[in-house]
């Protein structure tokens, strides 16, 4: 089984990715390769941050690697929180605080359309990096619903659904999610090689 490093120690993302890759690849975390550094995210785009993380691991540890950068874009807020989704309410990646800040910012706004986006950068061997993108449109509810998922999932209801990502099973979410879409593109590319 081919090994790929996923440039993250986010347990929720690792679980989702391992479910999506369904045993086709051995997905190693940063901890698995002995990397405990805080990899900087210095770009102003999802693609740039994903590429920066993947190159950082490849250059320092030598592993073929993929990295993602994901976030929520709320149209009425000019795309906020965007690349700052995990740090919207501060640097400690506090989902409850992030959700509270988002609800506060949207308090008097009727247009609650939003989009979850993922960009994955794959760095293999000496080839040029390849990108895989995914997105799902939906809306931000006025209060949280559901206990599953993570991050903004209790507030985000995808278009055509009657429940939030936090109320969905992992399989339901992965079937339509931004990350699921991008990972399926990654897997299709790897299987075609």
Helix 178-192 / helix 11-21 crossing angle, nearest 10 deg: 50
| Encoded tokens for 36 | 């405990």
Tell me the average pLDDT of the chain: 92
CA distance 149 to 128: 33
Q: How many other CB atoms are found less than 10 A from the CB of residue 134?
A: 22
Judged against a pLDDT cut of 80, whether residue 19 lies above it is answered with: no
**93-147 confidence digits (pLDDT tens):** 789 999 999 999 999 999 999 999 999 999 998 889 999 999 999 999 999 999 9
- Among residues 44, 64, 69, 92, which one is catalytic? 69
Whose CA is closest to 43, among 61, 9, 67, 22? Answer: 67
Distance of CA 44 to the CA centre of its chain: 16
69 belongs to the catalytic site: yes
pLDDT, position 187: 85
Q: Residue 134 pairs with which residues in a beta bridge?
A: 118
Strands (E), 48-112: 65-74
How many whole angstroms separate alpha carbon 125 and alpha carbon 157? 39
Q: What is the pLDDT of residue 15?
A: 81
- Determine the Cα–Cα distance for residues 110 and 32; give it in Å rounded to an integer: 45
What are the pLDDT digits (tens) for 45-97?
A: 999 999 999 999 999 999 999 999 999 999 999 999 999 999 999 887 789 99
User: What global pTM score does this model have?
Assistant: 0.89
Is residue 133 within 8 A of residue 180, CB to CB? The reply is: no
Report the C-alpha gap between 22 and 72 in whole angstroms: 26
């Amino acid at each position: 089984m081919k090994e790929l490093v996923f440039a993250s120690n986010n347990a929720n993302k690792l679980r989702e990715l391992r479910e999506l890759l369904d045993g086709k690849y051995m997905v190693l975390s940063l901890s698995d390769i002995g990397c405990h550094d805080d990899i900087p995210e210095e770009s102003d785009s999802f693609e740039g941050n994903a590429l920066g993380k993947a190159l950082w691991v490849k250059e320092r540890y030598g592993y073929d690697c993929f990295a993602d950068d994901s976030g929520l874009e709320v149209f009425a807020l000019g795309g906020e929180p965007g690349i700052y989704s995990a740090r919207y309410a501060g640097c400690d990646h506090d989902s409850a605080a992030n959700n509270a800040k988002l609800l506060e910012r949207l308090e008097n706004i009727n247009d609650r359309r939003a989009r979850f986006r993922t960009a994955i950068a794959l760095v293999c061997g000496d080839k040029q990096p390849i990108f895989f993108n995914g997105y799902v449109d939906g809306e931000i509810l006025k209060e949280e619903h559901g206990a599953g998922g993570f991050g903004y999932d209790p507030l985000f209801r995808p278009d055509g659904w009657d429940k939030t990502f936090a109320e969905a099973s992992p399989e339901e979410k992965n079937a339509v999610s931004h990350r699921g879409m991008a990972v399926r593109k990654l897997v299709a590319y790897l299987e075609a090689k």
